[in-house]
Amino acid sequence: MEKVVNTKKRAWVALTDTIQKILPDITQEQLQPQNSLRTLGANSMDRAEIIISVMETLDLKLPLSYFSEEKNLGELADLLDTQLHIMERNKK
């Protein structure tokens, strides 16, 4: 169970840290699971940069189209968490 918590937390921290680096005016209070990158003011270039940077941080290799549907931060973190689980399972 600890591994599940760790991957979920890793995904969330990677996502929120990256958002704050690329969109420095975003406050910690705005980084809520129900908010989307678009509602936080990220344009399409910002969103692509955030996703690419998060994937690099987490060592994930996925096509950007995987993230093309508008998702809130919670859904993005869940999607990243799922991919981390798949990656870890494939390492075994």
pLDDT band at 1 (very low <50, low <70, confident <90, very high): very low
pLDDT 10s digits, 32-48:
999 999 999 999 999 99
What is the pTM (predicted TM-score) of this model? 0.89
State the residue range of the domain holding 13: 2-91
List the CATH number of the domain containing 73: 1.10.1200.10
pLDDT 10s digits, 37-92:
999 999 999 999 999 999 999 999 999 998 888 799 999 999 999 999 998 888 76
Question: Total structural domains in the chain?
Answer: 1
CA within 13 Å, CB half, 63 = 4
H runs (alpha helix) in the chain: 2-22, 44-58, 73-91
